[in-house]
Amino acid sequence: MTAIPAPTAIAETLKRRSGPTPTAVVPPGAKRFGVARTLRYLLLLFFLLAILIPVYVLVVTSFKGVGEASPARAWAWPHVWTLVNWQAAWTTLSPAILRTVQMVVPAAIISSFLGSMNGFVLSRWRFPKANLVFTLILFGMFIPYQAVMIPLLQLMLGLNVPSGIPSLIILHVIYGIPITTLIFRNYYESVPVELIEAARVDGAGMLRTYASIVLPISIPSFVVVLIWQFTSAWNDFLFAVFFSSSQNGPVTIALNNFANGALLQNYGSSMAGALLASAPTLLVYILLGRYFIGGLMSGSVKG
Amino acid sequence: MLVSVRQRRRVSQWGPPLLLISPSLILVGVFVYGLIGVNVATSLTDEHTSAQSTGRAPVEFVGLKNYVNLLYSPAFQHSLRNLVLYTGVFLLSALLLGFVWAWLLDKPAVGEGIFRSVYLFPMAVSFVASGVVWRWLLNSNQGASASGLNRLFEMLGLGFMQNPWWNNPNWGIAAIALPAVWQLSGYVMALFLAGFRGIPDEQREAARIDGASEWKLYRHVIFPQLSPVALSAVIIIGHMSLKAFDLIMSISKPANYQTKVPAVDMFTLKSTYDYANAAAVGTILLLIVAVLVVPYLVRTARAEKNR
């Protein structure tokens, strides 16, 4: 039973094993491995194509005009490539995309700092029942938010927090605390104790140790947590549907309403809208995939 | 004098960590545990109207009446049955596919990075966005008016596989699990792949030198070491599945009876200001998730303590 390794360290373990070369693992003189190998690649390729089916549909349909929406041409390449759908989707969704940026950036930054402070304290400060406190915080990550939604609506109303982006920033920060605490705590557990003890010998208190030693070495974890919080807040629909409307809400709400409206006439514009709404998280995944995987792993590998 | 020094030392020992952690403790305490408490209290009342929710009419305590009514109502039983079916299909398929992909990718393969990235990418997309394309793919029309997957089946000569997908009154919810599987199998793959790669090569080679067959190697060396990973995957996918909401809202819409689950019921009840029943549904969901998650958290906490 080991602790969860540092996120980036796990991302490294996903990389191909170094060490013995492939031939050393395969028993010598086995011709049938050629067949097995071909079969393996065929399977890999089959799954790859299956996963890309929805992507094909999204892209191709988004460039089709209304006239090509007939079932018979459902899977066909567009006769005429048009940007009409993209223009319609952009006009409708761009204000919501801007609002989502305004929501996600502060939410991700604030909850990262909270998570880092908690993680540091919980990994280095042995107070009675520290494990219990950590487990109680962690449970907050798994609860169905439906179990707090009704009083939460009343509380936010009572506190006069404006519906829309301000409410959602607060909620993403608060309900992001468990996961960000978990990722940072596991990272700090892996930091050599000597590093922090050295600071203490130098007479630095906990706050100064945190600011001058811990924060600078936390940058890899900050990247992981920021990406994780960015992605989950960007993709959130549940809080958005309860705490905002299509006038003041994030892009998931706007996209859902847009797709419902476009349902009858034209799938093309909904597909373009879905691609637009996914572009930021997909871009992050493509550019920073290593850290994205790190976030996934550290949210899970336990026991 | 002495006391004040000791007090000061205590403050300097406890003060800074408390300062760092207390904002979060208070927030989690209020917004998770406090609100769960208020929610349970609301679920034990007769707050079923908008007049009551705004304080213009009195609210009475009714005990467990809302829970009894819900659990006896065929409509809510249908939601619970759907939840079980959805979770079964989602969990089993994602575990199976994730394991197979990890197994295929464990041995060195050319282009491994590309396969891995493509298998995992749907995870970065929101359920709402994937719902847009899956609603099209799972179109229930068949024959000449078929589009989506039904049309694809026909084009591939697999016309017999055409089906009404989420419009099937009994099994429709299973169709909604398909996009969920599409999105999260890659996650399970990443978990298993990390598990496979955590097993030292020496152990495999030692087993092979001992003359163990490939099956015995898996049975006695690989599978036991993958079981913690499998458990993590069950917990993660399981709790996501029990909270299923976004995909259903986006594909079949909340008004659709055949694909509703408790989370959707909760939304519908809230929309009609039936706060008491909405809160009761929320509490029932919490209990279901707790049965899955609490033993896991307790076990993990114990394991860490014994470290």
pLDDT at position A164, please?
Answer: 94
SS3 content of chain B, % helix, strand, coil (to 5): 80, 0, 20
CA distance B267 to chain A (A): 8
pLDDT at position B212, please?
Answer: 80
Nearest to B253 by CA among B146, B163, B172, B148: B172
Domain span at residue A151 reads 84-298
Among B residues 202-261, those touching chain A with beta carbons less than 8 Å apart: 204-205, 208, 228-229, 231-233, 236, 239, 242-243, 245-246, 249-250, 253
DSSP state of A145: T
Determine, yes or no, domain membership for A34.
Answer: no
pLDDT at position B5, please?
Answer: 60
Which has more pLDDT, B253 or B87? B87
Contact A177 B297 (CB under 8 A): no
pLDDT at position A130, please?
Answer: 81
Residue B235's identity, in one-letter code, is: I
Q: Among B42, B108, B286, select the one facing A150 at the smallest CB separation.
A: B42
C-beta separation of B283 from B39 below 8 A: yes
B289 CB neighbours in chain A (<8 A) are 142-144
B101 CB neighbours in chain A (<8 A) are 47
Alpha-carbon distances of B62 from A17, B44, B66, B80, B277, rounded to whole Å: 62, 6, 8, 23, 12
B115 CB neighbours in chain A (<8 A) are 44, 47-48
pLDDT at position A139, please?
Answer: 93
Determine, yes or no, domain membership for A91.
Answer: yes
Alpha-carbon distances of B184 from A183, B181, B228, rounded to whole Å: 20, 5, 18
Contact B119 A51 (CB under 8 A): yes
pLDDT at position A56, please?
Answer: 95
What residues contact residue B227 under an 8 Å CB cut-off, 6+ apart?
none
Distance CA A298, CA B17 (A): 24
pLDDT at position A195, please?
Answer: 76
Contact A146 B27 (CB under 8 A): no
Domain ranges (residues) in chain B = 74-262+293-305
Distance CA B141, CA A7 (A): 46
Q: Could you tell me the CATH number of the domain that includes residue A255?
A: 1.10.3720.10
Domain count, chain A: 1
pLDDT at position B34, please?
Answer: 97
Which has more pLDDT, A17 or B307? B307
Q: Among B109, B136, B197, select the one facing A57 at the smallest CB separation.
A: B136
pLDDT at position B162, please?
Answer: 83
A9 CB neighbours in chain B (<8 A) are none
pLDDT at position A34, please?
Answer: 83
Compute and round to an integer the Cα radius of gyration of chain B. 25
CA distance B73 to chain A (A): 20
Mean pLDDT (whole number) for B186-204: 88
Contact B151 A267 (CB under 8 A): no
- 3-state SS class at A298: helix
ipTM: 0.91
pLDDT at position B43, please?
Answer: 96
* Residue in the structure block whose two tokens are 């994730």: B98
Distance CA A256, CA A275 (A): 13
CB contact B271 to A (< 8 Å): no
Q: Which of A43, A148, A180, A252 to mutate to test the interface with B (most CBs of B within 10 A)?
A: A148
Show pLDDT as tens, one digit a residue, over chain A (303 residues). 233 333 444 444 455 444 444 444 444 444 456 888 889 999 999 999 999 999 999 999 999 887 777 777 888 888 889 999 999 999 999 999 999 999 999 999 999 999 999 999 888 877 777 888 899 999 999 999 999 999 999 999 999 999 999 999 999 999 999 999 999 998 888 888 777 777 777 777 778 888 888 888 888 889 989 999 999 999 999 999 999 998 999 999 999 999 988 655 678 899 999 999 999 999 998 888 777 776 666 655 442
User: Rounded to 10 degrees, what is the CA torsion of B154, B156, B158, B163?
Assistant: -40
Q: Among B17, B114, B282, select the one facing A206 at the smallest CB separation.
A: B17
pLDDT at position B24, please?
Answer: 94
Per-residue pLDDT tens over the stretch B16-62:
788 888 999 999 999 999 999 999 999 999 999 988 888 888 888 99
HSE-CB at B213 with a 13 A cutoff on CA atoms is 3
Instruction: Give the burial class of B255: count Cβ atoms within 10 A of its Cβ; 0-12 exposed, 13-18 middle, 19 or more buried.
Output: exposed
A155 CB neighbours in chain B (<8 A) are 35
Predicted structure pTM score: 0.89
B100 CB neighbours in chain A (<8 A) are 43
Mean pLDDT (whole number) for B152-177: 86
Please check the confidence at residue B241 and state whether its pLDDT lies above 60.
yes
B138 CB neighbours in chain A (<8 A) are none
pLDDT at position A25, please?
Answer: 46
Contact A75 B266 (CB under 8 A): no
- 3-state SS class at B231: helix
B108 CB neighbours in chain A (<8 A) are 16-17, 22
Class of domain B74-262+293-305: mainly alpha
What is the number of helices (H) and of strands (E) in chain A?
14, 0
* Residue in the structure block whose two tokens are 């999105």: B183
Contact A282 B124 (CB under 8 A): yes
Determine, yes or no, domain membership for A39.
Answer: no
CA distance A136 to chain B (A): 9
Q: Among A127, A140, A146, select the one facing B282 at the smallest CB separation.
A: A146
- 3-state SS class at A175: helix
